[in-house]
Structure 1
Amino acid sequence: MTLFSGIFPTLEASLKYSTIKHEVSSQNIANADTPNYKGKRVSFKKALDNSVANMKSHRTDPRHFTLKSDLHPTTGIDNVRVQYRHDGNSVDIDKEMSDLAANQIYFNAISDRLNGKFNSLKNVIKGGR
């Protein structure tokens, strides 16, 4: 059993995901008035497919199934193909601002959880004092 049961890598990956979502939303908002700009969004499914495609398996018994993946690694960022305006721009500023606010709440929740884990660790190191 590991000391923290893998919680720190999970929280780190969650913060990275939130950071990427923030960067993509910020780029979309910054280019809201750029003609022919196609908005982007972060696709969790593509990120998951990328992780599965890069997994390595080790069979401990010949009766176990082998891990075969036909997936090809991708970036996890999609271009939005919908056109909202006559100038070819596909950014919906209201949706982007809403996504940015939701992502901020998610980031705050994850960072609070990480802070709580560090405070617990600090408490253990100090012996509960």
Structure 2
Amino acid sequence: MTCSNKILKKNIEQGGGKMFGGDKVAVRLVREMDLASLRKRVIANNLANLNTVGFKRSFVSFSRELETASGRLVVSMTHPRHLPGKNAGDEVRIETERHTAIRADGNNVDLEREMLDMVANQLHYHTITRQLSSRLANWQYVINEGRR
């Protein structure tokens, strides 16, 4: 994992900063944008190594955890002896698919799969940016109307 990927991964896991003043939805959207950016870098790395002998594709495992977490209740500790836990989806992992080989040279990068993943990720990123942009436009409207 490159240094910039490590920094991006750390930012995603920390949940953003104080830029949005406690707006949890906006912070979540920014985390999703960072995650999509990391996913794009991983896919680009896979594509760059399409013809590298023995290269194994990598992927970001966060989305599976996020999908399963979205259907769960968030449980809080009600007693000091309860075990503390992490909410599912808090951890981002870049994993390597080691046990498959598409070609005889050991490389398991499938161009069509990577391109489909790239398009799906781009659509996801575009949707998130539109949601965040809409949210910021609403804030701007409220602020400007409050001055009249």
* TM-score normalised over the length of structure 2: 0.67
Aligned to 1:89: 107
Partner secondary structure for residue 108 of structure 2: coil
Matches within 5 A, 1:1-129: 5-44=23-62, 61-62=79-80, 65-67=82-84, 76-81=93-98, 82-127=100-145
Gaps in structure 1 of 5+ consecutive residues:
49-57
Amino acid at match of 1:11: L
Instruction: Measure how far apart 1:125 and its partner are.
Output: 0.9
Between the two proteins, what is the percent identity of the paired residues? 29
Residues 20, 122 of structure 1: alpha-carbon distance in 2 compared, 3 angstrom cutoff: same
Structure 2 segments unaligned to the other structure (5+ residues):
1-20, 67-75
Aligned residues: 114
Do 1:46 and 1:75's aligned partners in 2 also have CA atoms closer than 8 Å?
A: no
Structure number with greater Rg is 1
Q: Check the 8 A contact 1:25/1:96 in 2, yes or no.
A: yes
Distance 1:84 1:27 in 2: 17
Task: Write the deviation string for residues 5-51 of structure 1: whole angstroms up to 9, x where unpaired.
Answer: 41111001111110111000000011101111111011127977xxx
* Root mean square deviation, CA, Å: 2.8
- CA distance in 1 between counterparts of 2:112 and 2:143 reads 47
For residues 92 and 116 of structure 1, the distance between their equivalents in structure 2, rounded to whole angstroms, comes to: 36
